[in-house]
Amino acid sequence: MSPQRIKIKPISLIYRNVCLYRLIMSLLYPGQYRARFAAVTSCLHPEERSVLELCFGDVILARYCLNSNRRWTGFDINDSFVRHAKKLGFDAYCVDILNKLELPSSDVCIMMGSLYHFHENLPFIFRNILTATPRLLLMEPVENFSSRPGVIGALARLSASVGKGDEAFRFTRTSLTDRMDELSRQLGFSWRIISAQGRQILLEIHR
């Protein structure tokens, strides 16, 4: 089944500048922003030398791959993030993965904090990813800050649109794990929870 096509709309302010994005994300994840990336890189296997990162945003994983002699390729719909990554010499491309019918092959794929954007197209997304890679590391927030009052809620709402309009949908731990069970039966992959601490859950999916 083809994914639902979505008309591109203005993106939220924080997605227009990498430094602003990093600042606000650091406020949303106080003391934990870089630790999120460390949790993911600690799960990489030594033999996994090529990494595809979807919706990469920041270049922290790209730097890690460079320093560990891995080949990193990044896709993001945000041209500002892609230009920033390219300026630093990284292999980044401006791609809407809902319109990308074939992903490049890699040893492992990584997606952090972005699955909720594709909640209406998950069979397409997972089928496409697992055709191109044997393993997906998926980190997803399961606590919705955008519904909170005060500064934190306001910051979270600022990050509500990456170009598809405001997005109210977020996963909870129950809705995410239930959906993974459903998709694993439908598409024939295996999955497990690596860690679930705070508002984040880290999953491993493999074909």
Q: Which tens digits make up the pLDDT trace of 43-75? A: 999 999 999 999 998 999 999 999 999 999 999
Number of domains in the chain: 1
Rounded distance, CA 77 to CA 25, Å? 18
Structure tokens, 53: 């990162």
**Which of 6-15, 108-117, 118-127 bottoms out in mean pLDDT, i.e. has the lowest?**
6-15
Computed from CA positions of residues 77, 18, 37, 27, in that sequence, does the dihedral angle turn out positive or negative? Answer: negative
Are β-strands 91-94 and 71-76 bridged in parallel, bridged antiparallel, or unpaired?
Answer: parallel
Select from 156, 141, 131 the least CA-distant residue to 203.
141
pLDDT mean across residues, the chain = 85
Q: Does the residue 46 lie in any domain?
A: yes
Q: Would the pTM count as exceeding 0.75? A: yes
Q: Does the residue 24 lie in any domain?
A: no
Q: Does the residue 109 lie in any domain?
A: yes
Number of Cβ atoms within 10 Å of the Cβ of 124: 17
Q: Does the residue 191 lie in any domain?
A: yes
178-197: pLDDT as tens digits: 999 999 999 999 999 999 97
Helix, coil or strand: residue 173: helix
User: Residue 198: which pLDDT band, with cuts at 50, 70 and 90?
Assistant: confident
Rounded distance, CA 135 to CA 129, Å? 9
**Structural domain of 57:** 34-147+165-206
Looking at residue 6, its pLDDT comes to 41
Q: Does the residue 183 lie in any domain?
A: yes
Looking at residue 159, its pLDDT comes to 53
Contact indicator for 178, 108 with CB cutoff of 8 Å: no
Structure tokens, 175: 């809705």
Select from 167, 18, 173 the least CA-distant residue to 80.
18
pLDDT of 168 strictly over 80: no
Percent of the chain whose pLDDT exceeds 70: 79
Contact indicator for 107, 124 with CB cutoff of 8 Å: no
Of residues 168 and 88, more confidence is placed in: 88
Q: Does the residue 17 lie in any domain?
A: no
User: Residue 10: which pLDDT band, with cuts at 50, 70 and 90?
Assistant: very low
Of residues 61 and 27, more confidence is placed in: 61
| CATH number of the domain that residue 200 is part of | 3.40.50.150
Q: Does the residue 133 lie in any domain?
A: yes
Of residues 116 and 23, more confidence is placed in: 116
Select from 87, 109, 95, 101 the least CA-distant residue to 43.
109
Q: Does the residue 182 lie in any domain?
A: yes
Are β-strands 108-112 and 50-54 bridged in parallel, bridged antiparallel, or unpaired?
Answer: parallel
